[in-house]
Amino acid sequence: MASKIKLNIAKTVFNVFRPQWVNTSFETIFKYFSKVEYDPQAGVYWVLNLPNDDANKLHPDLLKNVKKELVENIGGVDETHVNEGKDEYKFNIKLDTRQFVKDVLESDPISLNFEPIGKKVIVEYSSPNIAKPFHVGHLRSTIIGNSIANIKKKLGNNVFKLNYLGDWGTQFGIIQLGVEHENYTIDDIKKDPINLLFKAYVKGNQLSKLDQDAYEKAKKNFYLLERQDEKLIQLWDKYRMWTLEELNATYKRLGVEFDSFSWESDYRRSHADNVLKLLEEKGILSTDEFQKKVAVIDDKVIPLIKSDNTTLYICRDLMAVLDRISTHNFDEMYYVVDNGQAEHFTNLFKLCEKLEISKNKILRQIKFGKINGMKTRKGNVIFLKDVIDEARERVLAKQQSTKTTKTSADDRETADVLGVSAVIINDLKRSRTKDYAAKWEDMLQMTSDTGVFLQYCHCRLCNLSLECGKTMASYCDPQALKEIEAINLIKQIANYESILIKSNETLQPKELVSYLFALCRATNGALKNLNVKSSDDHTGSQRLLLFEKTRSVLEDGMKLLGLKPLRKM
């Protein structure tokens, strides 16, 4: 709702100023509008800040025309005036509080009130390797990428969620080396695929580091795989299938879905010739003294093909970009990958720029830091399943020790949802670019800024509608919602769209998380002082309308972050 009022004000002012700002785009005018400045005693102010260079161009009569047009086009305008400062003009518009409250609560708080952005966007995230358990290091990519993709889709973009799995490269040769050394049969692996394949990888890696012959054997395994060795292809395909089954079970618990699973093996050596030809035509492809094929850009040497003629990761990534341009013709593509791969993506984007394939397109790495210190009672955590299981068990233990809980101690499904919520919000509430230390005791608190706190607030609102004995009003009577707690909560509801836009622009889910925390704190204050059940029917129905609009926003925001909102706990 707030964005709708803001947009209408921007359009009205722009149409009045248009004759003097012939060469100024609407987007430029719109950026001058800052956030809502709220004074509960005086009403709501929308402020247009004009730099003096622009303000000095205005004819005095324009300001009179703006006031006239605003009164005609924007409901509830009480007054307008201009404050001339040292560096800027502040154009203040005072809205009637009652009209503002009515507009907010009689609209759908989670629907868009502006034109959808409508860009084609690919978000590549999670992207673990086959034959390995889902490592805790992939947690951040998965939940950051999922929330960013959800927010972009909410704002009207055509979003394609892509999971690009690592199933190619020397790592396969190392796994197979370990399988052969440990004498694992297909029947052995089938009974416990991920555990045994990971053990095989660890063993193969140890052998490769200690014995050069073993390393050469691992390289040969991948060399034969790239040349379609029938036996290795069959094994590789089984390893992929078993890995995907394990991953899907974890994604289901996390509430994460993808539009497509893509594989590194889709871009193998036999498909690389077209890329090499393009690089050669641009004059940046050469062969070094070790017989590797490399690209040279501004004295930077980027290896693409190894001396044994097998592909490197960056070559496969470059093939993938070309394929995605052809298949999706995207406007923007984002790679949600940790800080440690910054150089890889810098090189990839340089290659795309030299090949002139990224014109009018945005290619960007969404970087994130590491999680430190996350441990279970058994010791150090390596795998994400261990983290989620640990969170669930800690929630169950907390429930057993809390006399007031309404959930039975064996309600493992609810505990799992709460545990996952705790893990997700503990990550998303902070800047994604920084490392952080995870602390279970902070993560699971119900009264502080946690995922459990959000779930608790949502459950309180759901329970209110069931037990208050009132019927929600079908219209808003602002006279029944004059308390400061009500006005503060309405202000939070009105700001939802602006927060989504900010979160999208900064690619920081923490903006939305911080907003939901503030919304819940305002909700708790309102629930404490705005009793529904004991109030008269009219007042109670109006308050219930306010709390249901709040619940709707909270539920929508939680879903965008990847949470499954509970209705009771």
Q: Which residues contact 385 (CB under 8 A, 6 or more apart)?
A: 133, 134, 250
Residue 178: alpha-carbon gap to chain centroid: 37
What is the pLDDT, as a whole number, of residue 38? 43
Residue 526 and residue 485 in contact, taking contact as beta carbons nearer than 8 Å: yes
Whole-angstrom Cα distance, residue 444 to residue 399? 11
Beta-bridged to residue 135, according to DSSP, are 383
User: Taking a C-beta distance cutoff of 8 angstroms, is the pair 325, 357 a contact?
Assistant: yes
Q: How far apart are CA 532 and CA 328, in angstroms?
A: 51
261 vs 383: CA distance, rounded Å: 21
For 31-165, where are the alpha helices, taking DSSP H only? 52-55, 60-73, 97-105, 137-154
Q: What is the CA radius of gyration of the chain?
A: 28
**Which residue ranges of the chain lie beneath pLDDT 50?**
33-44, 409
Active site residue 135: yes
In whole angstroms, give the CA distance from residue 278 to residue 353.
12
Query: Three-class SS of residue 495?
Result: coil
- What per-residue confidence (pLDDT) applies to 389? 87
pLDDT for residue 65: 72
Tokens in use for 483? 């308390």
d(C-alpha 278, C-alpha 172), whole Å: 29
**What does the DSSP 8-state code read for residue 311?**
B
**What six digits make up the tokens of 409?**
């101690």
pLDDT of residue 490: 92
Residue type, 136: V
Single pTM value for the model: 0.87
Which helix (H) or strand (E) is 223 found in, with range?
Answer: helix 212-226
Q: What are phi and psi of 349, to 5 degrees?
A: -70, -35
Pairing of the two strands 332-336 and 120-124? parallel
| pLDDT at site 401 | 72
Angle CA 388–389–395, to nearest 5:
90
Q: Considering 119, 135, 292, 361, which one is annotated as catalytic?
A: 135
Provide the b/e sequence for 101-126 (b: ≥16 CB within 10 Å).
bbbbbebebbeebeeeeeeebbbbbb
pLDDT digits (tens, 9 = 90+) for 286-300: 998 888 899 999 889
Other beta carbons less than 10 A from residue 568's beta carbon: 12
Helices (H) and strands (E) in the chain, counts: 22, 16
> By three-state DSSP, how is residue 493 classified?
helix
Q: Active-site residue among 6, 67, 102, 138?
A: 138
132 catalytic, yes or no? yes
Beta strands 120-124 and 158-165 are parallel
Q: What is the pLDDT of residue 56?
A: 59
Find the angle CA(472)-CA(478)-CA(482) to the nearest 5 degrees: 105
Q: Please pick, among 102, 132, 219, 491, the residue that the annotation labels catalytic.
A: 132
At residue 86, the pLDDT reads 56
CB 280 within 8 Å of CB 334 = no
